[in-house]
Amino acid sequence: MTIPDYQALMLSVLRHATNGEIRVPDVSQKIADELGLSESEREEMLPSGRQRLLHNRIHWAKFYMSRAGLIDSPARGRFRASEAGLKLLGTKPTSINVETLKAYPSFVEFYESSNAAGASGAAAAVGSAPDESTPEEQIDAAQGVLHAALKNELLQRILVQSSSFFERAIVDLLVGMGYGGTHENATRRLGSVADGGVDGVIDEDRLGLDRIYVQAKRYAMHIPVGRPEVQGFVGSLVGFGASKGVFVTTSTFSAPAQDFVRHLPQRIVLIDGDRLGDLMIEYGVGVRIARTIEVRRLDEDFFVEE
């Protein structure tokens, strides 16, 4: 099932907080049981991969209710329902959400002061998407949009460059990933085998204990690389007595081409335009950092008195 958004979890979190001091992991386990979540759903992560989705949403549900005074934090990592929270539950609400919290002056003050300062933080994020996303989910979603746009722009720029530029970009990427030893050695090896369906060869490691043969095809995104092209590349590897190859393209590979390499004794890796863009961004090839945003959390250890 779909994990409820943080607002849909507020009522449940507050109810569990009436049973004495409790921790977010404990509440997460209880709510997961109540919802009948599968193991994979319980382990589902945020796009950043740094925190479980359910855990994150419960954390933010607790945080917003604490700003409204519905939850107290008597000890590190623990929380419980406040008198105001118990009073609200006494009215038997069918749900609790941001609009509910706006009935509490402390939350309104927090909400309005954040917006007045021009912050893009917690309260401002709620104001921009009050239906389901937590601030961290919004950050991850925005990053995903920027990543996809950058990847598309990268591939478009590569397509209008020369073939030699594309080959140099592949060299930069492979060296950045740790192949080929020095950049000079990689450049010398790549492009040195310009026949038989192979564009170059690069050392797999710095000692040159094994080699990887490379083929690079700069195709328009709507033209897939088919099985015949891949089969020709594999035939060349057999001629060289090679067992490892990388076929890189700016477009895609047809289903027959992908199926073909799955059943080969040689290890052939197909890198399509989508994956090429991801790798170039990950290893900083053709891109640079334009802006860094730090997200800080409260240091609980700082507030522990010896």
Q: Are 159 and 218 in contact (CB under 8 A)?
A: yes
In this predicted structure, what is the pLDDT of residue 172?
Answer: 85
157-164, Cβ contacts within 8 angstroms, sequence gap of 24 or more: 157/286, 158/218, 158/250, 158/286, 159/218, 159/220, 159/221, 159/250, 163/218
Average of pLDDT values for 83-97?
96
Q: What is the pLDDT of residue 123?
A: 43
Q: How many CB atoms lie within 10 A of CB 303?
A: 8
The pLDDT value recorded for residue 81 is: 96
Structure confidence at residue 128 (pLDDT): 42
Compute the average pLDDT of residues 282-288.
93
Stronger pLDDT, 304 or 213, i.e. the higher one: 213
Q: Give the confidence band of 181 by pLDDT, cuts at 50, 70, 90.
A: low
The answer to whether residue 130 scores a pLDDT higher than 70 is no
Domains of the chain, each with CATH number or no CATH? 6-133 (1.10.10.10), 156-282 (3.40.1350.10)
**Residue appearing with tokens 């700003």:** 67
Q: Is the pLDDT of residue 137 over 60?
A: yes
Q: What is the pLDDT of residues 232-280, one digit of tens each?
A: 999 988 888 888 899 999 999 999 999 999 989 889 999 999 999 999 9
Query: Residue 24 pLDDT more than 50?
Result: yes
Q: Sign of the CA dihedral 167, 169, 173, 179?
A: positive
117: which DSSP letter? T
**Range scoring the smallest mean pLDDT among 72-81, 112-121, 268-277:** 112-121
Nearest to 191 by CA among 174, 209, 205: 174
- Identify the pLDDT of residue 126: 45
- CA dist 14 and 61 (Å) reads 9
pTM score > 0.75 for this model?
A: no
Q: Using an 8 Å Cβ cutoff, are 211 and 244 in contact?
A: yes
Helix (H) or strand (E) run with residue 61 in it? helix 53-67
pLDDT computed for residue 178 by the predictor: 84
Q: What is the mean pLDDT of the chain?
A: 84
What pLDDT, on the 0 to 100 scale, is given for residue 133? 78
Residue 124 pLDDT exceeds 50: no
Q: What percent of the chain has pLDDT over 90?
A: 43
